[in-house]
Chains A and B, each alone.
Chain A
């Protein structure tokens, strides 16, 4: 089985622009969640989608948004980029609502805002 795939792996954007990151979960996984990792704040949960519905949301401003498609693929968008949005963005997938299920992470997308 292929793992969690994230694209692009690296990107550079300018302040004020917007960015869209893509995530393809493991085949059969219906839950996709997103995390932001920075040196100062560590790994922080952004949001989770299950069956195209946002199920949980972390403490991030409204500039951060996401969606999930019927094939479970997910995208996250950050609008009006700020320098502080420079981070590693990680996508994770799991089978769904099953208790004790394992969450698997992708390799991440490195975003640099200049």
Chain B
């Protein structure tokens, strides 16, 4: 699976949009972009995933660039409960198995 690069940490003011970038310049055509977050001492929580098109759900929006070499996770109105480590992962679209390769993630701190 392709490697991803994320900033180590970011701050966001409560109520503002949090935009978390991810670089995956070596992504292959059959690889999805997945986002998970982990709140301290809990298991990772699935947020969203996409292949080519932008995606939106009740938690967040995922914007993938046209060349698919980078993406941005957007939390539209960040709350204190969104403080967590956010992981961007790329995963192949095949039947080889369900293995996720986690990097260091971005530690998002939402401040009042």
Contact = CB atoms under 8 A, between A and B. Distances in A.
Give the dominant DSSP class at A's interface.
strand
B99 A56 contact: yes
Contacts of A103: 34, 46, 98, 100
Contacts of A88: 41
Interface in B1-52: 32, 34, 36, 41-46, 49, 51
Give the dominant DSSP class at B's interface.
loop
A104 B96 CA distance: 18
B45 A105 contact: yes
B-side interface size class:
20 to 34
Contacts of A33: 98-100
Contacts of A22: none
Contacts of B93: 99-100
A56 B96 contact: yes
Interface of B: 32, 34, 36, 41-46, 49, 51, 87, 93-104
